[in-house]
Structure 1
Amino acid sequence: MSDSLISVLALIVTLGVLITVHEFGHFWVARRLGVKVLKFSIGFGRPLWQRRGRDGTEYVIAALPLGGYVKMLDEREGEVSPNEAHRAFDRQPIGSRIAIVLAGPLSNFLFAILAYSLMFMIGIPGAKPLLDDPVPGSRAAAGGFGKGDLVVAIDGKPTPTLSAVMLELVDRAMAGEVIQIKVTDTEDRTRTRTLDLRNAPDLSDAAQVFSQVGLIPWQPVLPAVIGQVTRGGAAERAGLQPGDQILLAESERVKDWRHWRDIIERHPGKPFSVRIDRNGTEQVLELIPDLRDNQRGAHVGFIGAIADVPDDLAQSLRVVVRYGPLDAVSAALGKTWDMSLLTLRMLGRMLVGRASLDNLSGPLTIAQFAGQAATAGPIAFLSLLALVSISLGVLNLLPVPVLDGGHLLYYLIELFKGSPLSEAVQNVGQRVGIVVLLLLMGLALFNDFNRLLG
């Protein structure tokens, strides 16, 4: 199956599951509070499947899986018979209306908690947060970090994996804090290092946060032997295979994997010859590295291949975070809360211009990540589902008319005002909300195409 087809299918599953979760929250609470539901739709546009339940609700799966809706009986949208007026949404007490609107985003958060709980019970694999010598003159060098430091906690919060350290650094950088990082050094002594993130640059990209503050994950000296190649990448196109040993690159003797990576980065989009040893037979291949930007904005080459790491070394650098059922739920609650706050802080920084709008992603980027996560295994895919579910929950709570948060804003105003806003004001708000959403969707799609074409 092609990567593109996997990505499309993974996107449909991702959005289908999370939209269903969100809309079912509205549906379930509305039904429990006595509101009549006319239609429960996953997707928009032409129905692909539909049926009417015994309760009179029409259930629909539509062609465009980019949203969904629950249509309830409402006197503002059509005539309601007197004997059913008490089941109309607009006739419900304000507390009931707030509960129905809140139920969608809260269902997304609940789904994330369940997903993270399952992941923590199964066990989440990761890399140990072991550090190399920091970049000279960097914030990390000024903080006293050294080769062999193993990060244990950041401001008292345990960081068992490298990805946990990255997320904490991104979070702290948004707050512009001086943070205390507990490490164990090469002599197994506990030390406290200081990292000053005040006035730090945009650290919203977790993949680049280490290099931007000068931290370098520990890298063993590995032979220049191919371990894995990415499908469709430059390495596969050139004919490189797992087990190939790189001997020469343009007549330059390749010392180790780090040297090999440096050569690749010096040739973005430029062909060069490579002599390899494959099962005792030498041969020459032509390699044309793909191009990407590093953290300094410079073009560098990459080929989509990783080194062959001996099993014993890989095991020594690997950690699995696993909890019992109760601890897993507690950890999942904390993870969902942390990721929700991180999403809010990111949105806030973009709003005030302190983070790049390039961080907005649309369906094409989500499809790409969904495809990668689906091929990486169930834990990776569950992690993506949880993250996107949190993003949907947070975004839907923003006080933008059309979104759930916009309706909540209207109801809070009604609560304090004692009467609903006029229909004219609400209609203006709806139009503004639609324009805002269209602008955000347009920007997200623009970013998607930029990433694909870049």
Structure 2
Amino acid sequence: MADFLGSVWWMIVSLGVLVTFHEFGHYWVARRCGVKVLRFSVGFGRPLWSRRNRNGTEFAIAAIPLGGYVKMLDEREVEVPAGERAVAFNNKSVWQRIAIVAAGPAANLLLCIALLWAMFVIGRQDYSATLGRSTGMAAAAGLEAGDRIIDIDGRTVATWAEASMALTTAAMDRQDARVRVLDALDTPRTRVLPLSTLPAGFDERTVPQQAGLAWQFQLQPAQVDSVAEDSAASGHLQRGDLILAVDGQRVESADQVAPLVQQLGERGGPGMIEVERDGQRLALEVLPRKAQGGAGDGRWLLGVGFVSGQAPAYDARQQYGPLAALPAAVRESGRLASDSLGMMRRMLTGHASVKNISGPITIARVANASAERGVDWFLYFLALLSLSLCIINLLPIPILDGGHLLYYLIELLKGSPLSERAMAAGQYVGLALLAGLMGLAFYNDILGLFPR
């Protein structure tokens, strides 16, 4: 319940901040262009609070906190007295209307840069792209535990998340990745990871794992915390034992134990489990048992639980002084925009799955998780969400800002506005497209609530 309430709260805070800046962009430029603004609303539906300024604009906070709008005087919507026609939106020049509409996305872009600037000044803590284990494809390519990835296909990476994104991009493009690393002795080496050989239909969310990479910070030692009564391990393993090997195969982290036990069970017969206990190395003969019923039905199990320690200390920090943070924020905004646009292009061309489209449920969960990680991560989340809002609103879909900009571009080319009939038809098309995207986003959100 606490996670649910936290998710709802941080989503409301996040959307409230971003929508307010977006709509203020429209409002500020509209006022500079001499347009009369009737209402500035954060949220939809019945106003919970409102007041008017000396210019007659009503500022309101409404009941449904999932957006907002700026309502301007417009002859296409209401009858405008002759004395106020000059301040109606529709009577402004096409360039003024373009400026007013583009101001919303522009405000979100500026907010993104400002948030990233603040994040870099504070310093964002994260984990480096250091390998804790290398198997399969990665091991065959020569990558080893302790290697720290510093560059992928000419793109500098400072954290594991940046490295994961670069690897995923290469995999979606069916390209091999040229990976530069610093080994345990800080010697630079270059390896080629053959991501183009991943099978068709691979899960884009787990590319590093499929390539045989496990990040150092994710690995937890296989130290026994509990032993179930009447289980395969009962009478053999004890709390505090550190599992070192299963059936002759070395164990470096707790996540390796279950697959090795499964292999042992499928082979049949008992196997040797090597553990460290009180400073001594012991070899214990254990016969896994097959689970009956429940979620683990048919799996071979030992019947032990492992110590789930706290997350390790961060080993990477991105921090700049107030002046150096500005160009860093601009560069990061450009990188995030390139990644977002690239993902959209790949989804349109079929190189990326539409499962990457997320909706408000995912936004709420990520907002809560980011807030729990600290101010630096929440600022980063807000910056990414603000940039996404900017990009989405610039899509040439009628009803969005980008759709209106498309109308005005056509007006510039043909020398006169589109007919009301054409614009109305476009609005219906835009509504249908948005409804489809929202439905897909909600579908992906709901699927994401269930473990894969």
Q: 1:99 to 1:170 in 2, by over 3 A?
A: farther
Query: What's the counterpart of residue 350 of structure 1?
Result: 347
- The answer to which of 375-384 and 116-125 deviates more is 375-384
Query: What's the counterpart of residue 214 of structure 1?
Result: 212
Q: Within 1, Cα distance between the matches of 2:178 and 2:256?
A: 33
Q: Give the alignment of 1:17-416 within 5 angstroms.
A: 17-136=17-136, 138=137, 140-141=138-139, 143-198=141-196, 205=204, 208-218=206-216, 223-224=221-222, 246-248=225-227, 250-252=231-233, 253=237, 255-256=242-243, 260-262=254-256, 306-308=308-310, 314=312, 318-416=315-413
Q: Is the 8 A contact 2:135 2:213 kept in 1?
A: yes
Q: Is the 8 A contact 2:219 2:255 kept in 1?
A: no
Q: Within 2, Cα distance between the matches of 1:361 and 1:93?
A: 37
The residue matched to 1:65 in structure 2 has which SS? Answer: strand
CA apart distance, 1:155: 3.4
Q: Within 2, Cα distance between the matches of 1:199 and 1:318?
A: 32
CA apart distance, 1:20: 0.7
Q: Is the 8 A contact 2:225 2:306 kept in 1?
A: no
Residue type of the partner of 1:2?
Answer: A
Please give the per-residue CA displacement for 1:151-176, whole angstroms capped at 9, x wherever unaligned.
12223432221122122223444444
Q: Is the 8 A contact 1:27 1:40 kept in 2?
A: yes
Q: Report the TM-score, using the length of structure 2 for normalisation.
A: 0.80
Q: Is the 8 A contact 1:174 1:203 kept in 2?
A: no
Query: What's the counterpart of residue 444 of structure 2?
Result: 447
- The answer to which of 254-263 and 189-198 deviates more is 254-263
Aligned length: 399
CA apart distance, 1:56: 0.5
Residue type of the partner of 2:369?
Answer: Q
Q: Report the TM-score, using the length of structure 1 for normalisation.
A: 0.80
Q: 1:291 to 1:452 in 2, by over 3 A?
A: farther
Q: Within 2, Cα distance between the matches of 1:204 and 1:325?
A: 40
Q: Within 2, Cα distance between the matches of 1:358 and 1:47?
A: 35
- The answer to which of 2-11 and 344-353 deviates more is 344-353
CA apart distance, 1:123: 0.9
Q: 1:344 to 1:259 in 2, by over 3 A?
A: closer
Q: 1:308 to 1:38 in 2, by over 3 A?
A: closer
Please give the per-residue CA displacement for 1:113-149, whole angstroms capped at 9, x wherever unaligned.
111111111111111211245322x2x3454323322
Please give the per-residue CA displacement for 1:192-244, whole angstroms capped at 9, x wherever unaligned.
222344476678855x231133323236985456xxxxxxxxxxxxxxxxxxx
Larger radius of gyration between Structure 1 and Structure 2: 2
Q: Is the 8 A contact 1:204 1:346 kept in 2?
A: no
The residue matched to 2:59 in structure 1 has which SS? Answer: strand
Runs of 5+ unmatched residues, structure 1: 226-244, 268-276, 278-289, 293-300
The residue matched to 1:78 in structure 2 has which SS? Answer: coil
Q: Is the 8 A contact 2:222 2:307 kept in 1?
A: no
Q: Within 1, Cα distance between the matches of 2:43 and 2:332?
A: 29
Runs of 5+ unmatched residues, structure 2: 244-250, 263-276, 278-293, 297-302
Residue type of the partner of 1:246?
Answer: D
Q: Within 2, Cα distance between the matches of 1:166 and 1:305?
A: 27
Counterpart check, 1:431 vs 2:428? yes
Q: Within 2, Cα distance between the matches of 1:199 and 1:223?
A: 31
Q: 1:182 to 1:393 in 2, by over 3 A?
A: same
Q: Within 2, Cα distance between the matches of 1:173 and 1:23?
A: 38
Q: 1:361 to 1:142 in 2, by over 3 A?
A: same
Percent sequence identity over matched residues?
Answer: 45
Q: Within 2, Cα distance between the matches of 1:408 and 1:362?
A: 25
Q: 1:143 to 1:420 in 2, by over 3 A?
A: farther
Counterpart check, 1:3 vs 2:40? no
Residue type of the partner of 1:148?
Answer: G
Q: Within 2, Cα distance between the matches of 1:196 and 1:419?
A: 54
